[in-house]
Each structure stands twice: as structure tokens, then as C-alpha cells.
Amino acid sequence: MSARTLKLTISYDGTRLVGWQRQASGETVQGLLEAALSRIEGGPVTVHGAGRTDAGVHALGQVASVAVSSALPADVLLRAINASLPADVRVVDVRDVESSFHARFSARLKTYRYLIRNEAIVSPFEQRYVWQVPEPLDLEAMHAAATALVGTHDFAAFQSAGAASTTTVRTIERSEMSVRTGSVLVLPPGGADEVDGDGRASRLLAYDVCGNGFLRHMVRAIVGTLVDIGRGRSPSERMAVLLDGGSRSDAGPTAPAQGLFLVRVDYH
């Protein structure tokens, strides 16, 4: 039977997972998907993801591609795959695509969101999905610093030490901070912002960034730097300096994994 290529869209709570990429120990999204599909195929399969989210990072719209020989309709495959997955990993869409499609190499843009709960108390229902920063933050300075990232720059200052990349130059199309109301549990991805009148009540900060590619820990390093700026430890102009030959030691700390979400992957 001839092979077909499937595009899978996946959502997952990364709290207990050790990341996207299969590992020697611990459950990964790639490993769980490959195990589920192997049961359907009756043999081994390889699933390719659009990006390698780290341990503890979540996804609303991760994308994967896989070649299968099964003739089952896409909707039947969707149910069959989910029947073999744990509840914190869900395939939300399955569709047939051209054989040339590759989840990683065909991707044009990726959008990430990082959530910060800027309050003294965090709900127990939110603590797995936000970074709690209790002290006051200067949102205006953070927004100005975030805006400086838009364009094509060298992001070497925001790449984890020891990471191997052929180039550290990336293009960012959107980079912005916003204040939102309510709970992360009902926050719609890409939805309209609701800004509090005083900017303090129910202070949930969202950093949204969209670009053609990201270095290892790049978004979390950017967020750590933005929080340093919000705390007044560095001026907002520091971001532009970091993009002009800065090193990782010059930037802020790496923000915790639990606040990061891969929101969407766009293709040509």
C-alpha cells in the first residue's frame, strides 16, 4: 500500500513531560505519538515535529508530520491516535498533505506566548502555566524593550550556552507585551486583549513573539531579560545593545519553562 503523509496538530500540557524529542528515559510527545501510530501501522514510524519544546513547555498548536500506510480516514485516525495517548497530550487535527510537506522544514513562522502572573498570590489552578513575579514591573519599559526585537537580528545573547546552531540570526515579525484580565485557564490564544483600568487588578502579563525560527531557550532568555528590565535592573535600551554583539552572560536569566506555550505554526 502506498504511503501517505499526515499533518498532525497537537496540544499538550508539558508539566510532567521531558520535552518533545524522544529521550532514553521519560515520556516525550514525539515518543508517545510514535508509539500510538506504531500500534495502528503495525510497525515503527517516525514523527517529525515543527519545533523541539523543552521539558515543562506547553503547546496549543504544535505541528508534526508522519508518513503512514494506513488507509483509515483522517477522522478515524484522529480518534485512534488519541485513544492511545495520555490525557495531557491530544491530537486536535489530522489531515492528508502533499508528500513534500515536512513539519519543521516547511514551517514559515512560529508563534510563542509566555505568561507572567505579576501578583503576590497565584491560583493553584494556574501555577503550572505561569511564572509568578510578585514585585511591581514597569510594563512600559518592558514593552519598549520587546519592540526592539522586531526585525532581523543576531540573537546570540539569547541562546543557551553550548547550543549548536549554524547561525544565530533570526527574523522576528511580532514582539509585544500586553496586560490581560482573568485567568490563564480561559485565555483564548490570539484573542483580544482586555486591559485593566489601573493596570494592576488581575495582572496577567502575556509576551507574544512570532518569528521564522528560534534558538534553544531563546524565548525564555528574552523573557528573563524583559523581567530584569521591568524590575529596573536594566534600562529598556539594553535590549538593542544585546542585539549588537551581546553574549549570553550579558542578558537576563532564563525564565522558567512552565510559562511558555507554542501557540501556532504557520506554513507557506
Query: DSSP letters of 56-102?
Result: T-EEEEEEEEEEE-----HHHHHHHHHHTS-TTEEEEEEEEE-TT--
Give the separation between CA 89 and CA 29, rounded to whole angstroms: 7
Q: Tell me the three state secondary structure of residue 221.
A: helix
Among this protein's residues, is 154 annotated catalytic?
A: no
Among candidate residues 55, 84, 74, 106, the one with its CA nearest the CA of residue 8: 74
CA distances in angstroms from 20 to 108, 109, 184, listed in the order given:
20, 18, 23
Catalytic member of 13, 54, 250, 266 = 54
Backbone phi, then psi, for 97, in 5-degree steps?
A: -135, 170
Is residue 141 within 8 A of residue 205, CB to CB? The reply is no
Angle at which helices 29-41 and 74-83 cross, to 10°: 120
Positive or negative CA dihedral for 191, 263, 13, 205?
A: negative
Catalytic residues: 54
